[in-house]
Amino acid sequence: MAEASVKPTPVLKDELDIVIPTIRSLDFLEMWRPFFQPYHLIIVQDGDPSKTIKVPDGFDYELYNRNDINRILGPKASCISFKDSACRCFGYMVSKKKYIFTIDDDCFVAKNPSGKEINALEQHIKNLLSPSTPLFFNTLYDPYRDGADFVRGYPFSLREGVHTAVSHGLWLNIPDYDAPTQLVKPLERNSRYVDAVLTIPKGTLFPMCGMNLAFDRELIGPAMYFGLMGDGQPIGRYDDMWAGWCVKVICDHLGYGVKTGLPYIWHSKASNPFVNLKKEYNGIFWQEEAIPFFQSVMLPKECTTVQQCYIELSKQVKEKLGKVDPYFNKLAEAMVTWIEAWDELNSAEGSTGKLPAKGAAM
């Protein structure tokens, strides 16, 4: 019998950081205050570091701009994107908490069909604290949810499930469409609230969106590199996609689960589809090569840590995608730099190397 979660969801306020990339404003936090105030925020300020981004009073935060990233990582800062939401992954690296929730600054509190405001963070915590079922599909969706269970024919040997590494939330109003779809359907809005959480089956990739995403940093953090995007790069808006493909392949290899579905947020801003098309066009073309690559990736059984898997993956990226475009050679090297920087900041001695950023006392 799947353990129904009748217990209240733990707040995890000392075990979870909220990472926000921003090049605009943090006013959206006012709407999230009831849900976010207990948590520590890690704000990654993109763009001009001389610009001051106001953090609303009452939040406990640390803020990093490009000067901070360069100061903390030195030459390794080259792996952190500039002028792209990919910069958010720096926040994952400097966090010291077990869980991460990342959200964009144009995402607001959504309402469920009964009109109740959705505490997206609480749902992500529920998703992360309950097992996933990647090895056998449960047709009644999340079997660990109140009022659900495994259906007849579900093997009892698999009902314990596996640890959940990622919780991928969705969006009402502006859906996360690519530029061509945005251009064809400029007025389309997502009003469909699907009351379900699904485990993405083992061996299946998915398009991970970084807008409303939570993960177990201790299980899968080093694989959550959002790549080389934005300024100086031939691609943008594939940061979260790249991370999602790497993460899913490694989760499948290590036996972790990835969930998608609830919670919803309200995505308010439709970015410019023409600007997006310029950023995405290489990605739309290259993904037709990258997806078959990730579908065929085999990681040796000797790779038992995320770092080992990720370094092995970077070698295969260089070998197999480097032929598609020299960009992938650069990306493969940046993947290694990311792991080196991650281990430097997160090894015992490395943690003292992190200079305090501006902001409220930590």
Ligand X SMILES: O=c1ccn([C@@H]2O[C@H](COP(=O)(O)OP(=O)(O)O[C@H]3OC[C@H](O)[C@H](O)[C@H]3O)[C@@H](O)[C@H]2O)c(=O)[nH]1
Chain positions contacting ligand X, by CB under 6 A: 21-24, 46, 83-85, 87, 104-106, 176, 209-211, 230, 237, 239-240, 269, 271
By C-beta, is 51 or 269 nearer to Mn ion? 269
Q: Nearest distance from residue 257's CB to ligand X, in Å?
A: 22
Answer with the entry of Mn ion, ligand X, none that 97 interacts with (C-beta below 5 to 8 A by kind): none
Q: Nearest distance from residue 44's CB to ligand X, in Å?
A: 7
By C-beta, is 30 or 319 nearer to Mn ion? 30
Q: Nearest distance from residue 267's CB to Mn ion, in Å?
A: 6
Q: Nearest distance from residue 269's CB to Mn ion, in Å?
A: 5
By C-beta, is 56 or 201 nearer to ligand X? 56
Question: Parallel, antiparallel, or unpaired for β 60-64 and 164-173?
Answer: unpaired
Name residues contacting Mn ion, limited to 289-348 (CB under 5 A). Answer: none
C-alpha dist (Å) from residue 123 to 3, 195, 302, 308, 309: 17, 12, 35, 31, 29
C-alpha dist (Å) from residue 65 to 1, 90, 165: 49, 10, 28
Residue 142 makes contact with Mn ion by CB under 5 A: no
- Binding piece for Mn ion, criterion CB under 5 A, among 6-14, 48-56, 101-109, 118-126: 101-109
Answer with the entry of ligand X, Mn ion, none that 131 interacts with (C-beta below 5 to 8 A by kind): none
Among 62, 68, 106, 240, binds Mn ion (CB under 5 A): 106
By C-beta, is 176 or 216 nearer to ligand X? 176
Distance CA 25, CA 139 (A): 42
By C-beta, is 104 or 142 nearer to Mn ion? 104
Q: Which residue is nearest to Mn ion (CB)?
A: 106
Answer with the entry of ligand X, Mn ion, none that 181 interacts with (C-beta below 5 to 8 A by kind): none
Q: Nearest distance from residue 42's CB to ligand X, in Å?
A: 13
Count CB-CB contacts under 10 A for residue 315: 12
* Cβ 201 vs Cβ 134: under 8 Å: yes
Count of residues in the chain: 362
Q: Nearest distance from residue 271's CB to ligand X, in Å?
A: 3
268-275 contact pairs (CB < 8 A, 24+): 268/106, 268/107, 268/108, 268/173, 268/174, 269/106, 269/174, 270/174, 270/182, 270/186, 273/179, 273/182, 273/183, 273/186, 274/179, 274/183
Name residues contacting Mn ion, limited to 257-296 (CB under 5 A). Answer: 269
By C-beta, is 96 or 269 nearer to Mn ion? 269
Residue of 34, 302, 259, 287 lying closest to 165 (CA atoms): 259
Answer with the entry of ligand X, Mn ion, none that 240 interacts with (C-beta below 5 to 8 A by kind): ligand X
By C-beta, is 28 or 39 nearer to Mn ion? 28
Answer with the entry of ligand X, Mn ion, none that 84 interacts with (C-beta below 5 to 8 A by kind): ligand X
- Partners of residue 173 on adjacent β-strands: 190, 267
351-359 contact pairs (CB < 8 A, 24+): 351/96, 353/72, 354/72, 354/94, 355/68, 355/71, 355/72, 356/62, 357/62, 357/63, 357/64, 357/68, 358/62, 358/63, 358/68, 359/43, 359/55, 359/61, 359/62, 359/63
Integer-rounded Cα radius of gyration of the chain:
20
Report how many residues bind Mn ion under the rule CB under 5 A: 3
Q: Nearest distance from residue 41's CB to Mn ion, in Å?
A: 18
Answer with the entry of ligand X, Mn ion, none that 23 interacts with (C-beta below 5 to 8 A by kind): ligand X
Classify residue 124 as left (phi > 0), alpha (psi -120 to 50) or beta: alpha
Q: Nearest distance from residue 216's CB to Mn ion, in Å?
A: 25
**Residue ranges in contact with Mn ion by CB under 5 A:** 104, 106, 269
